[in-house]
Structure 1
Amino acid sequence: MWRGWFEQQWQYKGWAQCMLLPLAWLFAGLAALRRTLYRCGLFSSTRLPVPVIVVGNISVGGVGKTPLVIYLANALRAAGYAPGILSRGYGGQHTGEVTPGSNPAGYGDEPVLIAQHTACPVWVHPLRAESGHALLLAHPETDVLICDDGLQHYALQRTIEIAVVNRTHGLGNGRLLPAGPLRECLSRLHEADLVVESGQLPDRNSARPTFKQSLQVGEWTSVSDFSARISIQSLQERPLVAIAGIGHPQRFFQSVQAMGLACETKVFADHHAYTQADFIDLSGKTILMTEKDAVKCRHLDLSDAWFLPVIAELKPVGHLQTLTDCVISLLKQREGK
């Protein structure tokens, strides 16, 4: 309830946000102090024996980091690297290695989704340095680590920072928590090595190499077996309800409607742990969902539920070098290769 109210308020600048500004200033001061203490060495920070690429964001909520992590891991593998992936595993209860068959309730939906789409080792732990040590011990062939989220996790030193931004939804009123959705000031983007825009592009050129991320959709796929497909034409003939338990559900609903699929919508909390009870009142309807939701619903034996897989596509903005080339160039430069 309160989260929904805050997310609505974060899109505006009004009296409610002004009342929260003192708390936002306090949050900004504490965040700046914490970062200074890490920079001065008063808070310890771990350097791992292999380079670390952090893919993170400066706002709360989903901005498209997971598709980018999958894209980058597969691109680095194709270039001859042996990446490993670290995740906090939000919503999960366990730590350790994640496989394509791991239970999302135990390890989190995003790590399981990443494991299903990459041939890379994936490790979950809230302390990312500890997670990195454990992954490297289990997979000593790993020569680069990709950290899914963690731009503000300064306890782990990083070789490259990639900041993902969604200006359509993620930046809101441009204020810091709790008056707005920002974890750090917008000026933090100037310190990242690379910026990936998953929403609209800024009016002016970025101070950092910038890339535009779009999501290319696949075919509607069965939630129960992940192999059967269904056409849009077949779906148009059925009573539809679209559900979403993601950071910005309206993006998914708009994508569904853009396909010519008229449907009801139902929103769940981000990282919601689905049970069969969630679908009792949807009996007789065809259910549409995101792939992130599907990995948590696969075991529920839903007979008429379908998800839409997406693949990230990255295009450079204002220069010719690809994201993969930029990352590899920075790795070689900073590792002295």
Structure 2
Amino acid sequence: MALSLRRREAPRGRYTPNLWPVWLVAPVALVLALLLGWGIYQYAHDYFTQAAADQKPPKPVNVNDVLKATVTALTLVGAVLAGLYAYRKQLLSEGDAHRADASQLADRYTTAAEQLGHDQAAVRLAGVYALARLADDWEEQRQVCIDVLCAYLRMPYQPDPEVAGHKAGEREVRWTIIRVIRDHLHDPTEPTSWCTYSLDFTGTTFDGGDLSHSHFRGMVDFRDAVFSGGTVNFIRATFSDGTVNFIHAAFSDGRVVFSDATFSGGLVNFGGATFSGGTVNFIRATFSGGRVDFSAARNPGGTVVFSDATFRGTVFSWGPFPVPAGT
């Protein structure tokens, strides 16, 4: 029986069940109904026979009473089966609706992905917003939509308009992606929040961007990222319980600002990062618990500032930087 059920199991990814054929179900249902009716009739007949025999004086069995009891029982069984049929029909309708929704969402995903690959910056911007809206509507594939936006940032990028490979409007598209991500990291209680989702910026080139007031609670990976100019803001950002990797990141110019940021629990890893220029600013940042790792970091020309930072029980691993007071 179990093997038979497994054979009839709907293929994975289908929303509509694989039903048995009518030519098989109809005669089986008819036979079962006849057997059930005969069984109920026999039970009712025995019951009324015993009841009639117990009377003083004994009376003959009233066949009409037996038939009425049988019909009543069959009517009740029929009502239950009708309810089950209605329930199954509702499930089929919901499956059709679910399939239609999934098809529509998949079409939206395809359209947004095509827009992101367009030559014109305005169309790519439309694709960014379309994919962000899709992520809000499609919780099951929200991580996929986030991954596509992050993958766009990881693509080769030439910020200098005088150098071959530069694409007109590309900086605005990339900064818009960063803003969209930031807007989804502001309130962890929002049902469309991305705070607990993974963000993969591996190898991304940043020449500016605003991630201020963001809440990072998942895996955020800036491994091998290049901060080559402008200002990347993490002002008042909160890093709690997750992991933020800046392993082998290169800070070659511009400013990366963690002013008033809060690091509570989790791991912030700058291991092997290179600070060859620019400034990384932790002014008034608060470190409470967790671990901050600057081991094996290189500091040939950059500046890392911890002025007025607060430290409470954080485990630090220091590289070329002086240990801040209070640690």
Q: Same fold (TM over 0.5)?
A: no
| Structure with the higher fraction of residues in strand conformation | 1
Q: Which has the larger radius of gyration?
A: 2
TM-score calculated relative to the size of structure 1 = 0.23
TM-score calculated relative to the size of structure 2 = 0.23
| Structure with the higher fraction of residues in helix conformation | 2
